[in-house]
Structure 1
Amino acid sequence: MKALAALALALLAGACAAPGAVAPAVTSRPVVPYTSAGLERVIGQDEAGLVTLFGKPDADIREGAARKLQFAGPICVLDAYLYPKGSEAPRVTYLDAREPDGSTIDRASCVAALVRRDGGK
């Protein structure tokens, strides 16, 4: 009898849930569109142009002929990848940006923030 009462109680409690209830969707950060808009003053620059724009790089990493200059500020971190073309000096062909915690940030917004950091012109 006790087992029957426990089963009836469990069925009644289960009936209290809203029919068709769906667990809330897990939200994630919005996807940042990957465009080159706003990057015109950085893409194609050489090292001297980047230093003029942002100041001294926080990191300078070389791998073969390729080079990565990293500029960090309180808002974001920008990685500028420079590659040579023929006998010309290496120039920025690709940029990556992130917030200091690793979250995604728009590259053009990061460029704008770093131009305004101390040391940038």
Structure 2
Amino acid sequence: MRIGIVLATSALLLAGCVGPPAARELPSTPPVISTAGLERVLGHDAHGLVALFGEPELDVREGEGRKLQFAGPICVLDAYLYPKGRHEPIVTYVDARQPDGRDIDRASCVAALIANRKR
């Protein structure tokens, strides 16, 4: 009988230790996204991208924005262009992925597309 009481009490005490995980506090500032290696793309217009990578696989316009997509055997690069003042739209952001959709470093993708173009 005593063993049953001890086991039941122990089980209740252990159950009190298990609960929902503590909520994590979100960082006060957003993470910094590195632009190292993207100097040949960021801030450039569509003509500069075509000169660098060749004709895009996809050219989508929506409102004032434009997305140019360049693809090679290693990766797919999406370049997002938006107007700055009265100037020609320029690349403000790039995204990259492998052909199967997995992530790839953006600067590595830029380098791979440039190398593929030089062949």
Secondary structure of 1:117's counterpart equals helix
- The structural deviation recorded for 1:34 is 4.0
Q: State the distance in 2 between where 1:37 and 1:95 align.
A: 12
Secondary structure of 1:87's counterpart equals coil
Matches within 5 A, 1:16-27: none
Identity level (%): 67
Matched to 1:96, the amino acid is D
| 2:93 pairs with 1:68 | no
Provide, for residues 52-71 of structure 1, a one-character-per-residue CA deviation record: whole Å limited to 9, x for no partner. Answer: 10000000000000000000
After TM superposition, what 4+ stretches of structure 1 lie above 3 angstroms from structure 2?
none
Q: Report the counterpart of residue 95 of structure 1 in structure 2.
A: 94
Q: State the distance in 2 between where 1:45 and 1:110 align.
A: 17
Q: Report the counterpart of residue 27 of structure 1 in structure 2.
A: none
Matches within 5 A, 1:29-68: 34-68=33-67
Secondary structure of 1:115's counterpart equals helix
Report the number of matched residues. Answer: 88
Secondary structure of 1:102's counterpart equals coil
Secondary structure of 1:75's counterpart equals coil
Structure 1: gaps spanning 5 or more residues: 1-32
Q: State the distance in 1 between where 2:59 and 2:82 align.
A: 13
Provide, for residues 58-103 of structure 1, a one-character-per-residue CA deviation record: whole Å limited to 9, x for no partner. Answer: 0000000000000000000000000001110000000000000000
Matched to 2:108, the amino acid is S
Higher relative contact order (CA 8 A, sep 6+): 1
Q: State the distance in 2 between where 1:104 and 1:35 align.
A: 15
Structure 2: gaps spanning 5 or more residues: 1-31
Secondary structure of 2:67's counterpart equals strand
